[in-house]
Chains A and B, each alone.
Chain A
């Protein structure tokens, strides 16, 4: 008894000593963080990106290298294998990367705990960004970070199947009724008319077209179970019930692009990221892109984006800001767009981009009526939960699903 007590005492002492030691040696850097803008001009920058592939990594690396040689500040780019985890480790240790990608659902968490520098208002090209993108990265009234690029959802149409069904350009659906009609015409024994992933990031577009949205325009009130949202999901149910639309899950495909590329569906709802997949995986498929049809409340689509975050603990915030300005400049965004197919987040690049990508112009034109996804802290959990229920939307009750979401959402928004 005596012996084990001593052993525990010794272990305890050891643990305390080590803990104090750890806290002690790391203390300096932690306190440096809370003091804020510790400027050390000339200290090198690190850039951490969550890359979509080699093309993106190379494009960003080249762009940063070009900025480095012109500005004289060394900067290195690394592609994260798990961006969220690596960012979290950086913030906890007090030595985060200086510049990094931030997703809309991670913004609130990092902004709330003070990890992010709210530099948006200092940007020279601040007014050039699309206003909806700016509001996606505004937390607590502060514009935190510069939108990197963005995507919207559109309707992709297989032109061969379209022609086979005897449809012409004039038949491109403009309303829900027309969408149902062409989906029915396009449905054959081999393929369905329309396929989409059963998740909020696709079906949310129908809620927007019905005039709804998960949160109010100012993002402060949960509106998940509004009549408009229910109507949007009811329409999705009617599409599925008619048999002319199927979820990608029921088609055995991972996402809309796969179902579309394999010829399992004549139309699908995806964003402009589908371009890369079609080019590399399904080059034989000929397709065109249209804006999503309007619902009872007009046109609506969803918009997805990332921003260039700057760490509050960065040693060289001035240089980081200059780097971000360079990376979001019109020309740079256009060259990113041609390198890995994204849409520029600045309005000044729109015309050139549309000229270079005429097929994809409907995606960019959809920016006018695009709705951002909820960005409150904890909202991503709510959406995950919503997605888990939307997987069985064909048999589910939209009202019950949205009531549950409303309850979950009320707990996180407006806090």
Chain B
């Protein structure tokens, strides 16, 4: 490797590095490259191969009697028409609802908590920060066990609800979806034929729209409870880096507290927001420990997630190809959603509509509009 990079300088920047320095550079980075290669690149490559092979779990996946079967494993999961496809569809449904609810809620809660404990005026800030951060430090297995007790049929949560006159559900044994339950309040217990007769991945549209099951909802509450503290820490760090001058300038311009938060503070938090959303997205698509220690996918398969399904396919059913195929599809989902999210959160120029508010009302002419457009374009270029 040192030979390929060191002596021949190809770019002007590389030319500045003398041959010896190049060797030294590679030498210093070599340990981590070897470690990453051995424990990350090679296993991932092996898993990718397994997902395209009929490896049965005995001996090396590279041995002669393992053959390449193309996209068969993926085919079974995405269009096989059998149980494998349905299970995969159900796991995606469950996890999609989980992500849809957890990511926005945990981001909002953590931002709220951060703003609250960031106030200089608050007494005992240290105590509150510790209290909110505490669940994040605790092992997810311990919290899951705690949750199983809290949300048991006669657990603390249902006791609390009973004081309010609510007859709480048997949380971890209730497979009914909350959207379906909500609709049932209005007497809607089965969907229109359009939704019930058509299926995607073996699951009817009506079931896709069932919402998370009551059991999954308990996990959703748990995820928000445990991760908000972690992300609160990131937001606090960001908030403390914001300069006071901008706030003061906004104050001078007559912006009230609400406006300062939405128009001044929040836009400055965009990089952290991106980090929090990305980490949240990755974390929530990989739910595993809670399911493994908590419900094992039950009740009624409503807490099966792709990560858990990948594990059981490989280790319990010896369907190694399917297990790794699920893992790689999960990988694709996460990458695609992160890119989408990056695109949505990209830095944009101020829209004309909003810009108008900052311009003198009289100068609403062609020239000013052009100026606004120019400003907007310039911002895009900066990005």
What residues make up the interface of A, taking CB atoms closer than 8 Å to B?
Answer: 2-3, 6, 9-11, 13-15, 18-19, 22-23, 26-27, 30-31, 33-34, 82, 84-85, 88, 91-92, 94, 106, 109-110, 112-115, 249-250, 252, 377-378, 380-382, 384-385, 388-389, 391-392, 408, 411
A33 to B331, alpha carbons, bound, how many Å?
Answer: 34
CB nearest neighbor in A for B38 = A18
Cβ–Cβ < 8 Å partners of B62 in chain A: 19, 23
B residues 201-237 in Cβ contact with A at 8 Å: none
**A386 to B: closest C-beta gap in Å:** 10
Q: Does B267 contact A (CB under 8 A)?
A: no
Cβ–Cβ < 8 Å partners of A113 in chain B: 56-58, 318
**A25 to B: closest C-beta gap in Å:** 11
A-B contact pairs, 19 of them (CB 8 A): A6-B4, A11-B37, A15-B37, A15-B41, A15-B42, A19-B42, A34-B59, A85-B315, A91-B58, A91-B59, A112-B56, A113-B56, A114-B56, A381-B317, A384-B297, A388-B298, A388-B300, A392-B175, A411-B83
Cβ–Cβ < 8 Å partners of B37 in chain A: 11, 14-15, 18
B63-A380 in contact (CB<8A): no
A315 to B301, alpha carbons, bound, how many Å?
Answer: 41
Cβ–Cβ < 8 Å partners of B84 in chain A: 381
Cβ–Cβ < 8 Å partners of A249 in chain B: 170, 173, 299
Contact partner, A15, options B45, B301, B317, Cβ 8 Å: B45
A110 to B45, alpha carbons, bound, how many Å?
Answer: 25
**A15 to B: closest C-beta gap in Å:** 5
The binding surface of chain B is classed by DSSP as: loop
Q: Does B33 contact A (CB under 8 A)?
A: yes
A380-B5 in contact (CB<8A): no
B300-A391 in contact (CB<8A): yes
**3 nearest interchain CB pairs?**
A252-B153, A113-B56, A109-B318
Q: Does B60 contact A (CB under 8 A)?
A: yes
Cβ–Cβ < 8 Å partners of A6 in chain B: 4-5
Cβ–Cβ < 8 Å partners of B60 in chain A: 23, 26-27, 30, 94
A384 to B4, alpha carbons, bound, how many Å?
Answer: 55
Size category of the B interface is 35 or more
B residues 29-82 in Cβ contact with A at 8 Å: 33-34, 37-38, 41-42, 45-46, 56-60, 62-63, 65, 82
A88-B57 in contact (CB<8A): yes
Q: Does B11 contact A (CB under 8 A)?
A: yes
Q: Does B1 contact A (CB under 8 A)?
A: yes
Q: Does B130 contact A (CB under 8 A)?
A: no
CB nearest neighbor in A for B10 = A2
A380-B317 in contact (CB<8A): yes
CB nearest neighbor in A for B65 = A34
A110 to B316, alpha carbons, bound, how many Å?
Answer: 11
Cβ–Cβ < 8 Å partners of B86 in chain A: 385
What residues make up the interface of B, taking CB atoms closer than 8 Å to A?
Answer: 1, 4-5, 10-11, 14, 33-34, 37-38, 41-42, 45-46, 56-60, 62-63, 65, 82-84, 86-87, 152-154, 170, 173, 175, 297-301, 314-319
B300-A33 in contact (CB<8A): no
Cβ–Cβ < 8 Å partners of A114 in chain B: 56, 58
**B199 to A: closest C-beta gap in Å:** 13
**A367 to B: closest C-beta gap in Å:** 28
A10-B300 in contact (CB<8A): no
A250 to B300, alpha carbons, bound, how many Å?
Answer: 14
B58-A391 in contact (CB<8A): no
Cβ–Cβ < 8 Å partners of A408 in chain B: 82-83
**B149 to A: closest C-beta gap in Å:** 13
A30-B300 in contact (CB<8A): no
Cβ–Cβ < 8 Å partners of A27 in chain B: 60, 63
CB nearest neighbor in B for A12 = B41
Cβ–Cβ < 8 Å partners of B301 in chain A: 384-385, 388
A109 to B173, alpha carbons, bound, how many Å?
Answer: 30
Beyond A14-B34, A27-B63, A92-B58, 20 extra complex contacts between A and B, CB < 8 Å: A2-B10, A6-B4, A13-B1, A14-B1, A15-B42, A18-B41, A23-B62, A27-B60, A30-B59, A33-B59, A82-B315, A88-B57, A88-B318, A91-B58, A113-B56, A113-B58, A115-B57, A377-B318, A385-B86, A391-B299
With A88-B314, A88-B315 given, is the CB distance from A252 to B154 under 8 Å? yes
Q: Interface centre among B33, B297, B298, B317, by most A CB within 10 Å?
A: B317
CB nearest neighbor in B for A381 = B83
**B141 to A: closest C-beta gap in Å:** 13
A23 to B49, alpha carbons, bound, how many Å?
Answer: 14
A30-B175 in contact (CB<8A): no
Contact partner, B14, options A3, A88, A91, A391, Cβ 8 Å: A3
A84-B45 in contact (CB<8A): no
Cβ–Cβ < 8 Å partners of A22 in chain B: 42
Cβ–Cβ < 8 Å partners of B319 in chain A: 378
A15 to B5, alpha carbons, bound, how many Å?
Answer: 18
Cβ–Cβ < 8 Å partners of B42 in chain A: 15, 18-19, 22
With A2-B10, A84-B315, A411-B83 given, is the CB distance from A91 to B45 under 8 Å? no
A385 to B309, alpha carbons, bound, how many Å?
Answer: 13
CB nearest neighbor in A for B174 = A249
**B288 to A: closest C-beta gap in Å:** 13
A249 to B152, alpha carbons, bound, how many Å?
Answer: 11
A30-B10 in contact (CB<8A): no
A252 to B152, alpha carbons, bound, how many Å?
Answer: 8
**A50 to B: closest C-beta gap in Å:** 12
B57-A391 in contact (CB<8A): no
CB nearest neighbor in B for A23 = B62
Cβ–Cβ < 8 Å partners of A15 in chain B: 37, 41-42, 45
**A226 to B: closest C-beta gap in Å:** 20
A110 to B315, alpha carbons, bound, how many Å?
Answer: 11
Contact partner, B58, options A26, A33, A392, Cβ 8 Å: A33
A15 to B317, alpha carbons, bound, how many Å?
Answer: 29
Contact partner, B57, options A92, A250, A385, Cβ 8 Å: A92
A85 to B41, alpha carbons, bound, how many Å?
Answer: 23
**B57 to A: closest C-beta gap in Å:** 6
CB nearest neighbor in B for A411 = B82
Cβ–Cβ < 8 Å partners of B14 in chain A: 3
Cβ–Cβ < 8 Å partners of B5 in chain A: 6, 10
